[in-house]
Chains A and B, each alone.
Chain A
């Protein structure tokens, strides 16, 4: 720790005060729970304003360099901001693909021009970013990307389609993985990585309706879209390495993200709060032995996960499988969250069969929606099953499937 505890304590006081005064209250319409679910202009405008306000107050990108719009502080400060956002139940900081994936990636491997051009606008919310990795026929098998980018003078001509493009219909830029060479021996070697503009002819994002009934991501079509050759990040044919690095930021394997508050955190405390509203067999539901055991199991899981996160930072306690906890981060947390939210729907009795639009639904269908929406995290960014392959192969050394 290079930062004096006293200055952190002062910062904590300052930020608590600021949050108490500035966190927007209920806007009168349903806000998205996660950055994957921004489905209306109304939500978008609200969240963009909120992010801008946070940045202007000096509380976003705490540990990013000042020359690109960050605050140039120790990462510990970002941790405090994220904690305060959760504690004050603040709306999400929605520009996640910019803030947490593209930003750190550019700070890591981007050119000076890239950083000057993109990073500040990621922080202010002026530029919204989306990600073009998965394709309709190639979700988990990312190496098989078929969208073509063909060099033509100072430009690449892009054809193909991408799917699950979160924020795609609102985005200014896309981190795009496309095939520049179809003749390589290894499929991975024909891929390139672009910082592609979205607001150009030949790019169309069509919103997709999700299992929750809401919108939030898109299928994005490229039809002879011409993007400047300068948008290439790294070398032509070096896209796979960039994509893998991006995924490490996405999965939280490496640090550097500008804000962890990309999802409204829903935890065991929220479930406990809801418990007081239900009965079973004519008695408070918390007296039900089966319910109690399920809650205890969730508590054990939650505690084991959060202690594991702390343990990961102590190398002497990770000698057997040094990166195992970090690599299993997404696997553990997203599956736990699915179980928790499913439980939130289960405890409601008959009300659990109602959905968001029914006025008699419990808390506007909060738990049902949260449970369905959680699939975005167990599927997006590499499904749980792909995560299991990764852990099996990279942590345990099992043969490839």
Chain B
């Protein structure tokens, strides 16, 4: 009957409930507005002591198996943490690190357990994926020689400066896609050109890997599907973070609409402002439902058709929603909204950044079309 709608699964575990509470409190405590503002101007973009606390809470290994020091709870348990960080606009390399672990785990084998142990123990990591702007390109322009020496550059590598492991996507001279594991200590400072990102809570750099020898190279049949799954899980985690940021953005709008008066009335009583605010709310809850659903569809193995549909829907909806929320937030705050000082600037910048991570809404809708319509 509902082939086109497909699965409506939505699971919720006790661990997720606990993490939702703990992460919410943690972020509220560690990432107040003043701290967010302070970190905007810093080189690192995050606080080392807070990162250490987060590592001590076990969050860098939530998704990893217990055999490598993780909690074995899967991606689903990470969703509440990422959502909470989105809500507090908290800068950390957590998402980059987790995604690197997922790519390495899915592309590698038993031999990679030491790297995963490093990560669950708190070593930051990242993935160098993009060659240039196109999320839909092959992004395999970087060459990995038979000796494991890299030549080429990667664009917009997130949280590159602190990554102790970098999973670099490239290809061999035979044209096979591989993931080269590079130690962060092998990348000299002058090989990195930090970007001026639109979202100042985030950090990324272009890296020239030319001449660097990979510590090891992951090859074989698992690699392409591992990369696909990395991109989908990346889209999902970005969507979860967006939902959190949208919630904070909405709270800011509601607060303003409840306190600001014009023409002798609270501006929230004007339907021209009230109704779009309701639309933000409704779209946020829809996005959140899609995110929770997608997290229920992901397990250890290669992502299923349902999981792919779910991740793409979650990203498409959440990206559109945060864009709408950030945009309206600036507008509804009037002249103040146009200023740097107003937090709307943080949200519209977060929106623009989120939209462009792992493909925008149109990118995912285009890929959903064959998944939904041609089967």
Contacts and interface: CB of A to CB of B under 8 A. Distances in A.
Interface of A: 87, 267-269, 272, 286, 292-293, 295-297, 299-308, 310-311, 314, 316-317, 319-321, 324-325, 328, 331-332, 385, 388-389, 391-392, 395-401
Given A328-B285, A398-B269, A392 B274 contact: yes
B368 interface: yes
A167 to B, nearest CB: 29
Given A296-B368, A304-B286, A304-B289, A269 B269 contact: no
Interface residues of B, number: 49
B290 A304 contact: yes
Interface stretch (B2-10, B95-103, B212-220): B2-10
B269 A396 contact: no
Contacts of B45: none
B365 to A, nearest CB: 5
Nearest to B13: A316
Contacts of A385: 271, 275
**What does DSSP make chain B's interface, helix, strand, loop or mixed?**
helix
Nearest to A304: B286
A388 B274 contact: yes
Nearest to A393: B274
B132 interface: no
Nearest to A305: B286
Given A307-B8, A401-B271, A332 B254 contact: no
B373 interface: yes
Interface stretch (B152-160, B225-233, B276-284): B276-284
**What does DSSP make chain A's interface, helix, strand, loop or mixed?**
helix
A385 B1 CA distance: 32
Nearest to B371: A296
A321 B281 contact: yes
Given A317-B10, A398-B269, 12 more contacts: A267-B2, A268-B4, A296-B365, A300-B316, A304-B290, A304-B313, A307-B290, A308-B289, A331-B282, A385-B271, A392-B277, A396-B281
A166 B335 CA distance: 49
B258 to A, nearest CB: 6
List 9 tightest A-B contacts by C-beta distance, closest first.
Answer: A304-B286, A398-B268, A307-B289, A292-B369, A308-B289, A399-B266, A392-B274, A399-B269, A388-B275
Contacts of B281: 321, 324, 328, 391, 395-396
A307 B366 CA distance: 22
A399 B287 contact: no
Interface in B313-347: 313, 316-317
Nearest to B276: A388
Given A331-B282, A398-B257, A311 B289 contact: yes
Contacts of A269: 1-4
A392 B254 CA distance: 9
Interface of B: 1-6, 8, 10, 12, 16-17, 20, 247, 250, 254, 257-258, 265-266, 268-271, 274-275, 277-279, 281-282, 285-290, 292-293, 313, 316-317, 362, 365-366, 368-369, 372-374
Contacts of B1: 87, 269
Nearest to A300: B313
Contacts of B3: 269
Contacts of B282: 328, 331-332, 391
Nearest to B247: A320
A306 B8 contact: yes
A272 B288 CA distance: 27
B292 A296 contact: no
A324 B285 contact: yes
B316 A396 contact: no
Given A272-B4, A307-B8, A299 B274 contact: no
A397 B281 CA distance: 12
Contacts of A268: 2, 4-5
Contacts of B247: 320
A303 B313 contact: yes
Nearest to A87: B1
A324 B250 CA distance: 14
A307 B10 contact: yes
B258 A399 contact: yes
A385 to B, nearest CB: 7
Contacts of B316: 300
B363 to A, nearest CB: 12
B369 A316 contact: no
B10 A389 contact: no
24 contacts: A269-B2, A286-B373, A292-B369, A293-B369, A296-B372, A297-B365, A299-B313, A300-B290, A302-B4, A303-B6, A304-B286, A310-B8, A310-B10, A319-B20, A320-B247, A331-B278, A332-B282, A385-B275, A388-B278, A391-B282, A396-B250, A396-B281, A398-B254, A398-B269
Contacts of A308: 285-286, 289
Contacts of A324: 281, 285
Contacts of B277: 392, 396, 398
Nearest to A297: B365
A268 B372 CA distance: 11
B373 A292 contact: yes
Contacts of A299: 4-5, 313, 368, 372
A350 to B, nearest CB: 24
Contacts of B6: 303
